[in-house]
Amino acid sequence: MRRAVVIGQALALVVGIAAGSCGDPAFVCEDDSGCAGLADAVCEANGYCSVPDLECNSGRRYAPHSGELSDRCVPHDDGSDGSTGEPVTDATSLPPLDGTTAIDGDETTSTGDEPRPIECAGERWLLEPFDDDPPDPDLWYVYEDDYSALSTASGSMRITVDDPAMDQGAYAGMDSLVGLPMAGEAGAQLLSIPDADLPAEAFFVLEGPKVTAGFDIYGGEIGSFFHNGEYLERVVVPFDPEAHRWIRIVFDELAMTVRWETSPDGLEWSTFDVEAEPPADWLPSLTNLDIGAGVWSSPAFADPLLEIDDVFVCARL
C-alpha cells in the first residue's frame, strides 16, 4: 500500500467536504419529468435540474437542491460559463526543472485559432485551459497550505512546494465545483510530475461522498485505484513520459463501468485499467474532480512539483 496516496486522498476528502458541505441537499433527476414544478426546467446530463436564465452564457441556471451547483450557471458548451470561443494550442515542450520530471513533447505554435487536441464523443462539459489566474472561483475551489502554492499564471496549473519544516507535509490542488455527468470522461495533459526521488505524489481523481476513483503518480510509477474507506490499488506500472502524457477516466453510472486510459497525444487512447463491477456506492454524478500534488515529509523543494494543462470533462450522450 502506498502510504503517500492514502494521506493525499484523506486530505482531499476533507477539503472536498469543506468546500461542498454547505447549501441545499441535492436532488437528482433522471429525466425532465423529475423537474416537474419548475418552469421550463430540464434535467441536465449530470442529473440536476436547470431553469432558464438569460444572465448565464448557456441560458440556463441550476435549480435549488442541486447540491454545490445550486444557483450556479450551467456551463456553456465551450466548457465555461463566462467566455466564448475556442481555446488555442500552447507549447508543450518543457525543460527539466528541479524536483520535477519534465515530459518532453513536440513543440506546437499558438496561432490563436487552433483548437486543443480534445475530442468529445458527446458534449464538452468543462474545458480548463488555465487562461485565468486565479482560476474561475465559480468553477474551481483552490486549496493550499503554508508550504505549498498553486498558480495558473503561466497558462497551466503549477504546484510548487517549499517545505523546510521537519515532519510536516504540504499539499495543494483544485476541486471542481461543476458536477460531473452520469456518463462521460475526465482527463488532462501531464507536463511535469513529481521526481521519483521525492517523498511526493500527484493525483487526478473523481472524488465522491463514499467512493473515489483515480490515477496516482508516485515514485516514478503511475497507478489506478479505488478508495472506499480503504485504498484499493489496482494496476501500477513505471511512468512512461510518452505513453502516459495524457490521462483520462471514462465512466458510466448506469452501466456501472470505469475505465482508466492513457494517450501520447490526447487523440489515440489505450486502456490502462478497466472495472466492470465498481463498488456499489460509486456514483459519478455525485463526484467532483480533484487534481493536486504534495509531499508528506520534509525538507522538500520543487518548482514545479506538478504541472498540468488542458483539463477536460466530456459528457457521453
Query: Comparing 57 with 111, which gets the higher pLDDT?
Result: 57
Q: What pLDDT was estimated at residue 106?
A: 36
Per DSSP, 241 falls in state T
Average pLDDT over residues 164-193: 89
* Residue 174 identity (one-letter amino acid): M
What's the pLDDT band for 284 if we cut at 50, 70, 90?
Answer: confident
Residue 13 CB-density burial (10 A; 0-12 exposed, 13-18 middle, 19+ buried): middle
Residues 91-104: pLDDT tens digits? Answer: 222 333 334 444 54
First-residue to last-residue Cα distance in the chain: 37
Distance CA 124, CA 316 (A): 9
Nearest one of 310, 317, 314 to 155, comparing CA atoms: 310
Residues 153-176: pLDDT tens digits? Answer: 888 999 999 988 766 788 999 999
Distance CA 245, CA 190 (A): 5
CA-derived radius of gyration, the chain: 19
What's the pLDDT band for 270 if we cut at 50, 70, 90?
Answer: very high
What's the pLDDT band for 201 if we cut at 50, 70, 90?
Answer: very high
Q: Would you tell me which CATH number, out of the four given (3.40.50.2020, 1.10.238.10, 2.60.120.200, 3.40.50.720), belongs to the domain 3-20+87-315?
A: 2.60.120.200
Q: What pLDDT was estimated at residue 39?
A: 84
Q: Which residue has the cell 452564457?
A: 57
Strands (E) across the chain are located at 42-43, 49-52, 60-62, 100-102, 123-128, 140-143, 148-151, 157-163, 170-176, 183-194, 200-207, 212-218, 221-227, 231-238, 246-252, 257-263, 270-275, 288-295, 300-315
Q: Element (H or E) spanning 20, and its range?
A: helix 3-20
Domain spans, the chain: 3-20+87-315
Residues 60-89: pLDDT tens digits? Answer: 888 877 766 777 888 765 444 433 333 222
The DSSP bridge partners found for residue 205 are 214, 290
Judge whether 76 and 167 are in contact, CB under 8 Å. no
Q: 3-state class of 192 per DSSP?
A: strand
The answer on pLDDT for 110 being more than 60 is no
The structure's pTM equals: 0.67
Q: How much is the mean pLDDT over the chain?
A: 78
Q: 3-state class of 178 per DSSP?
A: coil
Distance CA 161, CA 294 (A): 7
